[in-house]
Every structure is written in C-alpha cells, then in structure tokens.
Amino acid sequence: AQSVSQHNHHVILSEAASLELGCNYSYGGTVNLFWYVQYPGQHLQLLLKYFSGDPLVKGIKGFEAEFIKSKFSFNLRKPSVQWSDTAEYFCAVNAVGGYNKLIFGAGTRLAVHP
C-alpha cells in the first residue's frame, strides 16, 4: 500500500531562516507528487507539483521542491521564510495510472516568528 511520511509534525523558525520539510513516500511505480498548504482558517491550496521532467520544481511564493527518485523523497524548501508562511504543509502522492487518488502525509505545522 502506498504511504507518505512527513518527518516533522511541528517546525518553528524565525523570519529569514531557511526552510526544508521532509517528505518520503513508499510506492515502487511512477508517481506524481504534490505539496499543499493550508493557511489558518483557509482551504487547502496547491503549492507545487511534479509530474515529470526537471526534478527541481518551483511553486508559488518562492517555494521549491526536489524529487529524488532513488530516495523516494520530495522535500520542500524555501531560502527565507516570512511570517505569512505560517501554515500547515501537506505532501501528497498520486500513483500514475491510479486515477485521481491522492495519498497524503500527516502534515507539518510551521510557525514563523517575526
């Protein structure tokens, strides 16, 4: 069965610090990969996605993620966080050919202090 693991449940950073959130998945086939963000009181929004091609993908608000196939990882990064990045971040996997089924990780709650 497919699963997604996010290594940190809570991360606390100061503004301008660099961010890296870990995500690993278990699935032997080809996957599509996603990071979603949920700001306080708001709906889940797509931050970025990887389908194929360049394993380094750039998303909105200065976020990027790198797909490392050999490590089954899709870590999210941002060089310099802002207070407005305070949110919960979810990694998700879709097995290619698995129609529209998304498997989510448990989420990482990020708090950025001014």
Per-residue DSSP letters for 23-55?
Answer: EEEE-SS-EEEEEEEE-TTS-EEEEEEE-SS-S
Residues in the chain: 114
Q: What is the DSSP letter of 108?
A: E
Among 40, 53, 97, 114, the residue binding another protein under the rule CB under 8 A is: 97
Give the Cα separation of 95 and 113 in Å (integer). 36
Nearer to another protein, 54 or 99 (CB): 99
Residue span 15-44 as binding mask against another protein, x where in contact by CB under 8 A, dash where not? -----------------x---x-----xxx
Nearer to another protein, 24 or 94 (CB): 94
Q: What is the DSSP letter of 18?
A: -
Nearer to another protein, 17 or 88 (CB): 88
Contact 48, 34 (CB under 8 A): yes
Binding of residue 46 to another protein (CB under 8 A)? yes
| Binding-site ranges for another protein (CB under 8 A) | 4, 9, 32, 36, 42-46, 49, 51, 90, 92, 94, 96-97, 99-107
